Amino acid sequence: MISSPESISVLPNAIEEVHAFWIAGGSCDGCSIAAVGASSPSVEELINGTLPGIAKVVLHHPVLAVNAGEEFIKPFRLAAKGELGHPFVVLCEGSIMDESLAAKTGGYWSGLGADLDEFGDPQPIPSVSWITRMSEHAAAVIAVGTCATWGGVPAAANNPTNAASVMDLLGEDYRSSLGLPVINIPGCAPQGDNITETIASVLLFLHGLVPLPEFDELGRPKWLFDETVHRGCTLAGYYEEGTFAKEYGDKECLVEIGCWGPVVQCNINKRGAINHCGGCMNVGAPCIGCTMPGFPDSFAPFYKMPPGTQVSSTISKTTGTLVRNLRQMTQAYHNKTHKWIEEGHVPSGWGHIEQPSLLDKITHYAYQKLQYKGSHKPGSNN
Ligand code: SF4
Ligand code: SF4
């Protein structure tokens, strides 16, 4: 794992533009959609060069490009030969499929542009060919989405394409022209800001303006993928208090109906899906582990309780029941003014507020003794 930038170069100063080539393998284009939905930073900010310290990004994307045909392909050809004349990064979306299998039937899995064969007929250039040739000269290769990072859905058991990841294609010894191994931004689809923020961080580093961002042993941006879904989940309080959803649409923790969040590394609950809104649990969906190398097979069948949950949710139910009741008691007192407590009555026209029982009062008295121990209780004379 690279932990120091000693073996890594930076781009020369005064680089005005960095090219970014987007190449799709076996994909659904969902990662492209996620990227254009990013807001911090946005694709527009990157390609307009409005981010301080970051060169303007010239994006070559097969769907977003204005150019078409050979005019669009020409920069790819130059980059593959190391003759582009500008530094560039390769962004890979989709899994790497075994083109030798497709070639047996005269077909291909995924490609971009065409070369003429010996008969003068155009033949598609496979994506894998572009990635292999361009990666030799690229300042960085960034795999975007779970298909590119680990293989994803196309690489699920019994697939006919022998699909794999960009890391599998380029191997563990691969280093970019500046010394970086493949960078991985997983997710199906990834959170859009995770894509653009990683690109921006790498560009800042390559300009020599910030230290090398920290990546984990699988090349994931550590600051984005170090924590579990569960630690940032808006439903974690329900888990802690031992209350669990029984069916979809219930508001409580989703672990008993298939959530793998406690063991999955993903930040979508903290960051939201788009523009800080949405995100799986925030919209009622259990985590199915889409950022993880084991996805999808290791998390199947989806929507079934993970086996380890039986132990942890049983513990939560036991301790959570006690904790929940104590909290409700405290909360009831904190929903009253001192005047209402002293008078034993809440003058609300919205509903009848139960008065505390003798046990509640004794518990609250003990609670307050602890709360104000060593300090002054507001309104008291000592
Ligand atoms: S819904 Fe999932 S991630 Fe959220 S608290 Fe429950 S188990 Fe954890
Ligand atoms: S919470 Fe789970 S299912 Fe949702 S994006 Fe993250 S890893 Fe994928």
Domain CATH code at residue 111: 3.40.50.700
Question: Is 242's C-beta closer than 6 angstroms to any atom of ligand 1?
Answer: no
- Is residue 196 within 8 A of residue 40, CB to CB? The reply is yes
Q: In terms of Cα–Cα distance, which of 45, 43, 19 is closest to 33?
A: 43
Residue 368 belongs to a domain: yes
The domain of 283 spans 227-335
Ligand 1 centroid distance, CA of 230 (Å): 5
Question: 340 lies in a domain?
Answer: no
- Ligand 1, atom 5, lies closest to the CA of 236
pLDDT of 1 above 70 = no
Q: Residue 329 pLDDT > 70, yes or no?
A: yes
* Domain identity same for 208 and 233: no
pLDDT at residue 363 greater than cutoff 80: yes
88 and 201 housed in the same domain: yes
Ligand 2: centre distance to CA 290 (Å): 5
CB 165 within 8 A of CB 149: yes
Q: Give residue 44 CA to ligand 2 midpoint distance, Å.
A: 26
292: which DSSP letter?
S
- Confidence grade of residue 83 (pLDDT, cut at 50, 70, 90): very high
212-216, 290-294, 342-346 — which one is most confidently predicted on average? 290-294
Name the residue of 239, 248, 280, 309 whose CB sits within 8 Å of the most ligand 1 atoms, as the mutation to test its pocket.
Answer: 239
Asked if residue 119 has pLDDT above 90, the reply is yes
- For residue 235 and ligand 1, the question of a CB distance below 6 A is answered with yes
Separation of CA 153 and ligand 1 centre (Å): 23
- Contact partners, residue 354, CB within 8 Å, separation at least 6: 332
Integer Cα distance of 87 and 137 in angstroms: 8
Inter-axis angle of helices 127-135 and 69-80, to 10 degrees? 40
Same domain, 87 and 123: yes
Quote the CA–CA distance of 125 and 116 in Å, as a whole number.
Answer: 10
- Verify whether ligand 1 is closer than 6 Å to residue 255 (CB atom): yes
Q: Quick check: CB of 288 below 6 Å from ligand 2?
A: yes
Single out the residue in 199, 221, 243 at which a domain terminates.
Answer: 221
